[in-house]
Amino acid sequence: MSVTYLEAIRAAQAKALRENPNVYIYGQDVATYGGAFKSTKNLAKDFPGRVLDSPISEDAMVGSAIGASLEGMRPIVEMQFADFSANGFNQIVNHAGGYFYRTGVSCPITIRMPSGGNPGSGPFHSQCLESVYAHFPGLIIMTPATVEDAYTLLLEAIAIDDPVLFFEHKFLYNRVKAEKLPEHFSFSAGKARIHRPGRDLTVVSYGVTLYDSLAAAAELEKEGISIEVVDLRTVKPIDTETILHSVANTGHLLCISEGWPWGGVTAEVVARVASKGFHLLDSPPERMNSRDTPVPYHPDLWLAHKPSIGAIAKKIREMLDW
Amino acid sequence: MLNSLREPESEAVHLGFQEQYVSAFKWMLLARTVEDKIGALWRAGKVAGGCYLGRGQEAISVAVGIMLKPGDTFGPLIRDQAGRLAFGEPLFDILRTYLGKKTGPTKGRDGNVHRGRPRERIYPMISHLGALVSVVAGALMARRMQGDTNFVGATSIGDGGTSTGSFHEGFNMAAVERLPLVLTVTNNQYAYSTPNERQFACHDLVDRAIGYGVEGYSMDGTDLKECLEVAAHAVRRARSGFGPQMIVASCVRLSGHAEHDDGSYMEKTLLESPIGRDCIKVAHSFLVEQGWADESTVQEWRLNAKMDVEDVLQRVQREPAPVPEEEDWNAFSSHLIDPDLSA
């Protein structure tokens, strides 16, 4: 038996619905159809009246979740694609994000954001928007890469009293598997994890590029290069301590994301290390992102748009030759 | 004038209506008085930021606010001071917020009309118009899921706000869910400086009620009697399960968009038209005509309102401002988040 990343997301929602009567799911095609990616399959049947189809109204989906959360509910909003959250942007950043600071009352909503590219998905079904939302105060930004994190972080997102944006990567839905879901776990939002220990260089990543980083590390291992790979897990709050600790061990930093290059998570990580750990560095801190264009449709263009395993390995060799 | 969706029987002036009318009139006086005071404080440089008053819109605002019961939800917009007071917002809240006091509901973190008491179901607006419609709708959805009965929610919008996507999404969703939501569109003829003809192309905004599949009413927003009758009816319909109710109240904003705006672009003919009347003067005349109050009684109510405002203002002015060094610069509430990791 094994469980996929997608099944973990469904299992976390089922567990939350089962254990907390205030949890409900609201989104486009989430009820009878079970969601565009089937991440709510059968939940409407198992939990009548608590998995509801919404109109195509991202603004109202988020707005209604805010109102419901003020009445004690724990809404889970499914954006069909993270890209469409642009239509709910105002409610997310200005209404939900600012609620606690402005009013002293928290707004516990979870917004699931199916993110990132797949071959052929094109400009409007591929975006990685975690950096955009992380810029705004009051939003917790989760970016799980593993099956275990997809499960435990989603449960934590629902339990947290603040608005959480849960950036689940679509490329990972059916491609990563685990033996089973964790039964005992403690909440750990905001904590990064050393996914692969190493000596020579630190790669900080999250989401799908964690796997590209691990593949590059495996390739470089054959050349005698030992790479430490840090999985951010939650990009806001960001675990600066774990990153600095790793850079202190290796002396080199490369941060990798599928998001766009201007600003964003990789720029934030590099800035923090340059500012607080400059003395730890033996080479200039570097970062890799997708290219600064819309995400292209053709699979070959798409592959060339984002950091590849080969490009990551090449970059690391250059950094160590510096 | 009510449109054909309304039930045929007339809302006669019934027992208790006189008391309700008088009570609403007093809230209108208090709202006008405190807002005049806020305007004076703004001109004296004692208010940071903008100053947005509801002059001329007190009748429709109070009519909705007074029809709500404790436990109902109210999402007021910028010109809803009268409705806020009638629903139970203390006079302290407006003065503390405009003066940026640490004691206020936003502790100086937000100002002027962005105040509320979410735990008491008075929702604070954000500046992005229409955003509150779905928030109130979501709160009503939650109540229904929790098995509550006999509740309504009310929120307001202006003629300009009806042009936003957020308004449309929120109201359509409320209609799909058949929520007990009373939506008041106060058509005060201008959105900041933009007149109706640059804002929408339908004959009357109430025509949209048909499109949304909800019950709608169009009426004179300067006549407190009509406002109370229609609001009572709409709130009762919503509470009884007839779904969202759309009230379109026509009036004229009796000031600029904000105190920095003299409103010189407003057509004089509108101000001289029936909807350009001051609703407080209309109500005052009605009270006297009905024999429900004489001039000296109304004068006494005005003085009482003035004394109430002065009394609260004197206390609020002595209250402390927020201290930057003591401010908790944290936008997260959760104990699950290690504060050292924040930002």
- pLDDT band of residue B3 (cuts 50, 70, 90) is very low
Last residue of a domain, one of A144, A178, A212: A178
Q: State whether A30 and A143 are in the same domain.
A: yes
From A265's Cα to the closest Cα of chain B, the distance in A is 12
Last residue of a domain, one of A178, A208, A243: A178
Q: Give the pLDDT of residue A186.
A: 85
A184 falls within a domain: no
List the single range of A8-17, A180-189, B141-150 with lowest mean pLDDT.
A180-189
For a pLDDT cut of 70, what percent of chain A falls above it?
100
Last residue of a domain, one of A155, A178, A201: A178
Q: In terms of residue numbers, what domain contains A282? A: 193-320
Q: State whether A216 and A119 are in the same domain.
A: no
Dist. CA B197–CA A34, nearest whole Å: 45
List the single range of A113-127, B10-24, B66-80, B162-176 with lowest mean pLDDT.
B10-24
Domain B17-319 CATH class label: alpha beta
From B94's Cα to the closest Cα of chain A, the distance in A is 14
pLDDT of B337 > 70? The answer is: no
ipTM of the complex: 0.96
Q: Give the pLDDT of residue B5.
A: 44
Q: How many CB pairs under 8 A join A and B?
A: 158
Chain B partners of A54 at a C-beta cutoff of 8 Å? 173
Cβ burial of B105 (10 Å; 0-12, 13-18, 19+) is buried
Chain B partners of A72 at a C-beta cutoff of 8 Å? 142, 146
- pLDDT band of residue B183 (cuts 50, 70, 90) is very high
**What average pLDDT does the segment B154-164 reach?**
98
- pLDDT band of residue B339 (cuts 50, 70, 90) is low
Q: State whether A215 and A134 are in the same domain.
A: no
A188 falls within a domain: no
A77 falls within a domain: yes
Read off the tokens for A134. Answer: 């992380």
Q: Which tens digits make up the pLDDT trace of B75-115?
A: 999 999 999 999 999 999 999 999 999 999 999 999 999 99
Q: Give the pLDDT of residue A273.
A: 97
pLDDT of A322 > 90? The answer is: no
Chain B partners of A75 at a C-beta cutoff of 8 Å? 138
- pLDDT band of residue B172 (cuts 50, 70, 90) is very high
Q: Give the pLDDT of residue B11.
A: 45
CB within 8 Å: B109 and A102: yes
- pLDDT band of residue B9 (cuts 50, 70, 90) is very low
Q: Give the pLDDT of residue B128.
A: 97
Please state the domain extents for chain B: 17-319
CB within 8 Å: A59 and B166: yes
Residues ≥6 apart with Cβ < 8 Å to B123: A67, A70, B73, B74, B75, B76, B116, B132, B135, B136, B139, B155
A64 falls within a domain: yes
A183 falls within a domain: no
For a pLDDT cut of 90, what percent of chain B falls above it?
93
Q: Give the pLDDT of residue B4.
A: 41
Chain B interface test: which of A17, A23, A62, A70 (most B C-beta within 10 Å): A70
Q: Which tens digits make up the pLDDT trace of A32-57?
A: 999 999 999 999 999 999 999 999 99
Q: Is the dihedral of CA B129, A71, B230, B293 positive or negative?
A: negative
Q: Is residue B164 a contact partner of residue B150, using CB atoms and an 8 Å limit?
A: no
Mean pLDDT (chain B, rounded): 94
- We report the CATH number of the domain holding residue A275 as 3.40.50.920
From B152's Cα to the closest Cα of chain A, the distance in A is 14
From B17's Cα to the closest Cα of chain A, the distance in A is 33
Read off the tokens for A80. Answer: 């069909």
Chain A interface test: which of B109, B334, B340, B342 (most A C-beta within 10 Å): B334
Q: State whether A54 and A157 are in the same domain.
A: yes
CB within 8 Å: B140 and A70: no
List the single range of A181-190, B11-20, B137-146 with lowest mean pLDDT.
B11-20
- Smallest CA-to-CA distance from B141 within B170, B105, B102 is with B170
Q: Give the pLDDT of residue B15.
A: 58
Active-site residue list of A: 125
Q: Which tens digits make up the pLDDT trace of B224-257?
A: 999 999 999 999 999 999 999 999 999 999 999 9
Chain B partners of A68 at a C-beta cutoff of 8 Å? 138-139, 141-142, 145
